[in-house]
Chains A and B, each alone.
Chain A
């Protein structure tokens, strides 16, 4: 715990690991229509001594259906048994979405990784999108599937909002949400959290709060009950 007023919004690699585990557990315990996040450890090369195991959180093979005006986080109300458990989207809307998508080259899949940035000392969301056959989805296709405010932002700040960079561990091109500024808005988020008795930065809540903002950019919303239960 740390007094938010003295805090710069960042967290250490060790705290990232703690926060990641807490986030994954909370996510799984809510039994949403999503598969669980898994922690992927990364072995370091022998000549780079690292005090603790490095790794990242992974959520893969998510199908995103076309964004709708209705609140996407109604997934928690859908019956997981009646649809592919890895798809999100309002149940009423899925039929339309599936119809549209079957006219295209099949479903679009997304992989999401939450990776710690050594430079900015915050988590970073990396993602990639591909067709069912594994071919990468071009950015203009991804843009169509992002929530409207994200695609607006993308057209305004083409090079600084979502950038394509090398995944730090997998060494392949992935998309990434640029992390500069994260420290600042995380601090604001904690400062404005009236549910906490005092302004305390709790490591276990860091990733949840972070994801509640960042997930929305790519159309993944955390249902409010996940945040309220803390």
Chain B
């Protein structure tokens, strides 16, 4: 899984400036240059940053928080995602401002250092486990030592240690379509019948960050950056992958997540994928599948009707782990290789909406 390794080693070069209100010495201290892991969280950098500025801070209690161009940064969003979302034209190094006073408690949830970040991570993991497995028992019943090991592997970026502990959680992963397709092809005679008869399903935990623009732009440079959290919708959506021989691509996943953006193509969207409100209710023993299929079909067409009428939006940019993946890539590959340690796939999308 080489790609996964690249993701874990990915980092954002930060140039961190101390906010002028907290500079008490002349000349002001130079900015701190720090390499921040993509899969990490900004408050975890506090021990690295503080030494740069401790001699210049005014007396008092330090509560660290960050901002970019006036926007307080939400500390529970992984660093890489913040960068992809707020800096569509990547700025290297990324110039952000650090504060040690004046925590904006009306906008940002309080952060009491490493513990807050750890528990936020564990709660995300619980949510992902619930979406994928249908319950979060494995996460809740983790032993103290496993929990510590898991968290420290995330903090230190140690992929092997992480994989050792996380495999105990038995959070189902989606089968990688790319490798299984080629693997079965190479099996003499068995391959094709296997593939034809297989209907594999898998549930994926997705965090979608969507911001909208109303103008068209040619270059990323001209793309307006989101300057307020009001303009960014942040949604958790389960995506169900249902394969019937045909490969479920990133494009298919986006049709499920943002049906408004595919008005003409939505008629082709698979039944199970469209009715995502009820996707977790896989037809079970007590309900006849035919009836459920019919209802879902009716719902699907009702929904399709709605999205065609209300005017279309257009996806301008998709970023996952800093890359813009081609839409034809199998979604299973995207999930398995680009997801964060919390088992969520974080996707940043810029959408153009008609005025």
Beta-carbon contact of B238 and A119 below 8 Å: yes
Within 8 A of B (CB), among A31-47: 45-47
Q: Within 8 Å CB of A164, what residues of B?
A: 109-110
* B310 cross-chain contacts in A, Cβ below 8 A: 46, 49
For window 116-166 of chain B, which residues contact chain A by CB distance below 8 Å?
119, 122-123, 126-127, 130-131, 134, 136, 140
A171 close to B311 (CB less than 8 A): no
User: Among A6-14, A141-149, A204-212, which stretch is in contact with chain B?
Assistant: A6-14
B329 at the interface (CB under 8 A from A): no
Describe B's contact surface by its main secondary structure. mixed
Contact yes or no, B306 A51, CB < 8 A = yes
Task: Give the A-B contact count at a CB cut-off of 8 A.
Answer: 82
B68 to chain A, nearest CB (A): 17
What band does the interface of chain A fall in when counting residues whose beta carbon is under 8 Å from B?
20 to 34
Contacts of A45 in B (CB 8 A): 210, 212, 233
Cα A164 to Cα B76 in complex, Å, equals 12
Tell me whether A121 and B280 are in contact in the complex, defined as CB-CB below 8 angstroms, given that A49-B306, A173-B108 are known contacts. yes
What number of B residues sit within 8 Å (CB to CB) of A? 48
* Smallest CB gap from A118: residue in B: B236
Q: Which residues of A contact B134 (CB under 8 A)?
A: 8
* Interface SS of chain A: loop
Task: For B236, give its contact among A119, A136, A173 (CB under 8 Å).
Answer: A119
Q: How far is the CA of A142 from the CA of B302 in the complex (A)?
A: 46
Judging by beta carbons under 8 Å apart, are B260 and A48 in contact?
Answer: yes
Known: A46-B260, A171-B230. A51 touches B277 (CB 8 A): yes
A160 and B260 within 8 A (CB): no
Q: Which residues of B contact A (CB under 8 A)?
A: 74, 105-110, 115, 119, 122-123, 126-127, 130-131, 134, 136, 140, 210, 212, 229-230, 233, 235-238, 258-261, 277-278, 280-281, 284-286, 299, 302-303, 306-307, 310-311, 313, 351, 353
Where the two chains meet, the residues of A that have a C-beta atom closer than 8 Å to any C-beta of B are: 3, 6, 8, 12-14, 45-49, 51, 118-121, 136, 159-160, 163-166, 171-173, 178, 180
